Amino acid sequence: MTKKNYFKGWYFKCSGENQTIAFIPSFHCCGEKNAFLQIITDKNAFNLLFSQLKYREEPLIVKIGKNVFSEKRVKLDVKTNELTAQGSLRFGELTPIRYDIMGPFKYVPFMQCRHSVYSMSHSVDGTLTLNGKRYEFYNGAGYIEGDCGASFPKRYVWTQCHFKNGSLMLSVADIPVCGICFTGIIGVVMMNGKEYRIATYLGAKLKHIGKNTVTVMQDGYELTARLVKKNAHPLSAPINGKMSRTIHESASCTAYYRFSYKGITICEFTGDRASFEFEYP
């Protein structure tokens, strides 16, 4: 990349009946180039530094060290003082969204951060071992997304969760563009093969945010996400291309969701394999 301060990363989440693990391979340019692999489990988070990362977008494949992350699989091979990890996971057919999650904002220059969604849901099968602990996935559920730009938003909420016959993601963030700042919303509820898109460029508005709860609305639709029980671990996040910010993610926590249309509930559930970042004071 020609940009001086820049980052690009991907998020591979794999959920089983009793276990969740997420992988974040990324690279960062801020005077010098660095590559990182962050791994989040139910009980731990690991941040591993590598000399380089190679990737291709179509089809997506990311190689960092001896580790491979793609649309079809994860291959893990790590040996450090902090972590010894090996194994592989196979992914089933991906469930992409209809068009870019950024909508027309995809073409707006100078965006602080751009988001992408590769798959809302796919099957996960295989076995991994991390520091002697075995992670087994049999017809588990996977999710893949990505981010690129200069920095994560100063204030934001992000959540993702699989549920019966569906999957959802929602992000609400302060978006600075050309000297102004607005609340940006992107979200998808995928249920029974149907995609419900909620986004600023479609008229979505923030109804409420605070106390680990966010509610957005659009044309009669309303989506509420509430972090019920944290399970947060520290992660590194970019500021002007440098991994100098600490955020906290619950990769596997308890969260409540309600999606409705004109007051009539479409789906409502509490999930214990939800992912949540509430970086909103």
Nearest CA among 133, 168, 152 for reference residue 43: 133
Q: In the prediction, which pLDDT does 195 show?
A: 98
Q: In the prediction, which pLDDT does 3 show?
A: 59
Q: What is the pLDDT of residues 195-237, one digit of tens each?
A: 999 999 999 999 999 999 999 999 999 999 999 999 999 999 9
Of 81-85, 176-180, 248-252, the least confident = 176-180
- Are 185 and 198 in contact, with CB atoms under 8 Å apart? yes
Mean pLDDT over 131-160 rounds to 97
Q: In the prediction, which pLDDT does 108 show?
A: 86
pTM: 0.96
Which residues are CB-neighbours of 126 under 8 A, at least 6 positions away? Answer: 73, 74, 87, 88, 89, 90, 137
In this prediction, residue 32 has a pLDDT band, given cuts at 50, 70 and 90, of confident
Q: In the prediction, which pLDDT does 57 show?
A: 94
In this prediction, residue 179 has a pLDDT band, given cuts at 50, 70 and 90, of confident
Other CB atoms within 10 A of residue 239 CB: 15
- Are 126 and 88 in contact, with CB atoms under 8 Å apart? yes
Answer whether residue 2 shows pLDDT above 70.
no
Q: What is the pLDDT of residues 93-143, one digit of tens each?
A: 999 999 999 999 998 887 899 999 999 999 999 999 999 999 999 999 999
Q: In the prediction, which pLDDT does 89 show?
A: 98
Q: In the prediction, which pLDDT does 31 show?
A: 77
CA torsion sign, 281 to 175 to 220 to 195? negative
Mean pLDDT over 268-272 rounds to 96
How confident is the prediction for the chain on average, in pLDDT?
95
Q: In the prediction, which pLDDT does 98 show?
A: 97
- Are 12 and 90 in contact, with CB atoms under 8 Å apart? no
Q: In the prediction, which pLDDT does 1 show?
A: 37
Q: In the prediction, which pLDDT does 180 show?
A: 84
Answer whether residue 160 shows pLDDT above 90.
yes
